[in-house]
Amino acid sequence: MVLLGIDIGTTATKVIAIDAEGHLMAETERSSALCSPQPGWAEEDPEEWWANVCTAVPACLRSAQVTAEEVAAVGVSGMTPALVLLDAQGCVVRPSIQQNDARAVKEIEEFRGRTDEKDILQRTGSAITQQSIGPKLLWLRRHEPETMVQAARVMGS
């Protein structure tokens, strides 16, 4: 029995194979490019993450000398809160907006002014910060309305 772990991280996609006792059998990694088209912006290409998974998983299985049929379970983790928008067909609409992106400063302050921050923190365990998805979506609505018209789903990495 083999267990496979996939992590979509800020700088790389990592895949590990472990045996039933938790011993590492193999690991692979594929780099991801972080883009900053403007100061304070942080974006990545979700298609690159998928391409990384599609090459790293078979490489990890080869390195572990196992077949896909021997994989009993797959665990997946990702960076949060990266913002990924998909259209109705499931295609990526635009590059992701990463957790460390700082473009929505005005929108963060607006959210703070219109909500009970303590209640949000108590309910979610997270304060309203540059990592919050709501202000990023509001920024997109204001600055990229054509993107929001295309968007049918909001996802993470």
The CATH number assigned to the domain holding 47 equals 3.30.420.40
Residue 104: Cβ within 10 Å count: 25
**Range(s) of the domain holding residue 63:** 1-79
Distance separating alpha carbons of residues 45 and 31, to the nearest angstrom:
12
pLDDT over threshold 90, residue 79: no
Residues 62 and 88 in one domain: no
- Joined together, the tokens standing for residue 53 give 């998974």
Pick the last residue of a domain from 46, 79, 112. Answer: 79
pLDDT over threshold 90, residue 64: yes
Strand, coil or helix: 129: coil
What pTM does this model have?
0.89
**Which residues does 12 contact at the CB level (< 8 Å), separation at least 6?**
29, 30, 31, 32, 52
Residues 89 and 147 in one domain: yes
Residues 75 and 128 in one domain: no
For the stretch 106-149, pLDDT in tens is 999 999 999 998 999 999 899 999 999 999 999 999 999 999 99
Q: How many domains does the chain have?
A: 2
Beta carbons of 131 and 81 less than 8 angstroms apart = yes
Distance separating alpha carbons of residues 63 and 70, to the nearest angstrom:
14
Residue 17: Cβ within 10 Å count: 23
pLDDT over threshold 90, residue 32: yes
Residues 88 and 57 in one domain: no
Residues 107 and 89 in one domain: yes
Residues 10 and 37 in one domain: yes
